[in-house]
Amino acid sequence: MADGPADGAVPVALASGHRRVVWLRTAEHFARREHDLFEADPADPEHLRRVLHALADEGCAEVDWLHTLPLGIDGPVGDKALDRAVWACLDTPAAVVRALRGAPRELAVR
């Protein structure tokens, strides 16, 4: 899960060590833009659950979930940065945990 484009050095580096990299880009709505590119609200468990179900429906048995949203926090410390940090470090991981409650049982998520 990332807050940025699915092109560039990061996806290439991840792909070198994994069979498949599925990019989940932050958005206010849910959409599947390409086979391995989703847009979703990372604080919405239902959006995240839809991603997990889509992967399970394609036969994925295991998912290594990499949460990179906290890496996007930068700039001066202030109210805006603190709000962003709470969202990235608390709200969105909590949504992942809630999404796992309704995830397919056959899908192992680490």
How do residues 26-70 score in pLDDT, each as one tens digit? 999 999 999 999 999 999 999 999 999 999 999 999 998 888 887
Identify the weakest region by mean pLDDT among 3-12, 15-24, 25-34, 77-86.
3-12
Give the span between the Cα atoms of 60 and 34, in whole angstroms: 17
Mean pLDDT of the chain: 88
Task: State the pLDDT at residue 15.
Answer: 79
Task: State the pLDDT at residue 70.
Answer: 76
pTM for the predicted model, two decimal places: 0.86
pLDDT of 14 above 90: no
Give me the DSSP letters along the chain. Answer: -BSS-S-SHHHHHHHHHSS---EEEE-SS-EEEETTEEEE-TT-HHHHHHHHHHHHHTT--EE-----GGGG--SS-SHHHHHHHHIIIIIHHHHHHHHHHTS-TT-EE-
